[in-house]
Amino acid sequence: MDTVEPYIILITFGGLFIIGLAADLIGRHTPLPRVTLLIMTGVLIGPSVLDWLPEFTQQWFPILTNIALAMIGFMLGKSLTKKKLISYGRPIVGISLGVMLMTASLMFIGLILLGAPLELAIILAGIAPATAPAPVVDTCQELSAEGPFTNTLLGVVAVDDAWGMLIFSFLLVLASIAAGNGEAMSAFYSGLWEISGALLLGILLGFSMAYLTSHIYPGKSSQAEALGLVLLCAGLAELIGVSYILSAMLMGAIVANFSSHHRQRAFKDIATFEWPLLILFFLLAGASLEIEALFEVGLFGVAYIVLRILGRILGARMGATWAGCSGVNYQNMGLAMLPQAGVSIGMALLAIQHFPELKSIILAIILGATIFFELIGPPITRQMLIRSGEANKSGV
């Protein structure tokens, strides 16, 4: 690794934080949420357009991704308290399952009717249900949204990672069987470990954190405690090959439910660090997007985008109806869950390990769809929150 001059690092990150401040200020006076502004700015200053970012930022992006998404997962755990699950558990389960099953089913049927190879249709059906939690969570925070709709949305996004990995692992096995691939069961066991290992890690660290939160510095804030355990969770999850979003989410849920007192302290401590890291995450995520992928998706790529949108709309309506949710906002909640990014790209990379012959078409479709959904998803999420009447931010 080439040595980077310290002043280059300092100027780069100082400039990125100032860009984040500007995006936040502009977002207050435009229909675009700051997430979209940051991603668009990242695309502009990235290799696809102006190429202003030093090369070292590409090497740091995976680390920033792990930290940012672990924090997002931990903060999502706050939404899964016993009280909220009693109140919103049925809508969360119903809508999340409805969106997952309908999105996967529509994707598979639609692609098969368009003449896609069986293995490709199965793989894309497994990737399509995945949702990027970071843009959804940040849009809720930007609007200071609070209420039943917001709580349900955050709950659905929180469990989405687990459902998504389950169905992807299962469908990847089916695709391997359909292609006569002898490694089908290894793919299934890998997916099973990613979920079960994440749950085990989240439980172990969650109860440890709940104990520390209750007994160290009672009545005072300990940022070192909160940040240390979240970073430890991200690192251990990466080490043992499990979902760091899911493990951090469960850790947060345990702290929210089992910390005997001052249970909100840990979340307030993490919130202090969260936004600066998310500025870097969204900017570098935008810089990593290859705009050329939009022009390479072809018919199957366009179908992927259309079918995923339809699947989320119809799936949310089906789940909301089953859960007895009244109101048009719940029926249209699927539109608030359009963002798709890191998890789907990770799934695509795993899939092409088993199907290297499909590498170019899978990457073109998923990267192209990622750009599309990352740019149009957050503004739609923002409008859904405003229409629900739960956006409390002044000026909205």
Q: What is the pLDDT of residue 219?
A: 47
Do 329 and 384 form a contact (C-beta atoms < 8 A)? yes
Paired tokens of 222: 């300990």
Q: Which two tokens stand for residue 321?
A: 């109806």
Report the pLDDT value the prediction gives residue 224, as an integer from 0 to 100. Answer: 78
| Single-letter code of the amino acid located at 102 | M
User: Which parts of the chain have pLDDT scores under 70?
Assistant: 1-2, 180-188, 191, 214-222, 260-263, 289, 293-297, 342, 393-396
Q: Are 202 and 248 a contacting pair, CB within 8 Å? A: yes
CATH class of 57-288+298-387: mainly alpha
pLDDT at 187: 62
Per-residue confidence (pLDDT) for residue 281, from 0 to 100: 80
Q: What is the pLDDT of residue 55?
A: 82
What is residue 132's three-state secondary structure? coil
What does the pLDDT read at residue 395?
44
What's the whole-model pTM score?
0.75
Helical ranges in the chain per DSSP H: 6-27, 34-45, 56-77, 82-113, 118-127, 133-142, 148-178, 184-215, 223-240, 244-258, 265-288, 298-323, 328-331, 342-354, 359-387
pLDDT of residue 314: 94
Quote the pLDDT of residue 312.
93
The Cα–Cα gap between 279 and 17 comes to: 7
**Predicted pLDDT at 103:** 92
Residue 205, amino acid: L
